[in-house]
Amino acid sequence: MVLGQIKAIILAGLVLGAEERTLKEIKKFEGVKDGFMVYGEFDGVLIVEVPSQEKLNALISRIRRTEGVTRTITLVAI
């Protein structure tokens, strides 16, 4: 992790049948380092790294507005 970077994990609920397409699209967003499907309460996990809280807020908003995303929870590393 670069000094001063904010690292977070975003858990995403995804529309049934659109999981792969949605994750493929989100993985192209600046700041998204990786993303994969999982079993459980959430359908996708995104690993993100951004330079500021403002960039994290903007990225979360963009992810939440993405077609196929139903909900998110963000876990920020400390």
DSSP 51: S
What fold does the segment set 6-76 form as a domain?
Alpha-Beta Plaits (3.30.70)
Mean pLDDT for all residues in the chain: 96
Opening angle at CA 76, ends 68 and 31, nearest 5: 55
Helix runs in 1-78, H state only: 19-26, 53-65
Q: What is the pLDDT of residues 4-14, one digit of tens each?
A: 899 999 999 99
Give the amino acid at 23.
L
DSSP count for the chain of H helices, then E strands: 2, 4
Q: What is the pLDDT of residues 45-72, one digit of tens each?
A: 999 999 999 999 999 999 999 999 999 9
User: Which is nearest to 28 in space by CA: 4, 59, 65, 64?
Assistant: 59
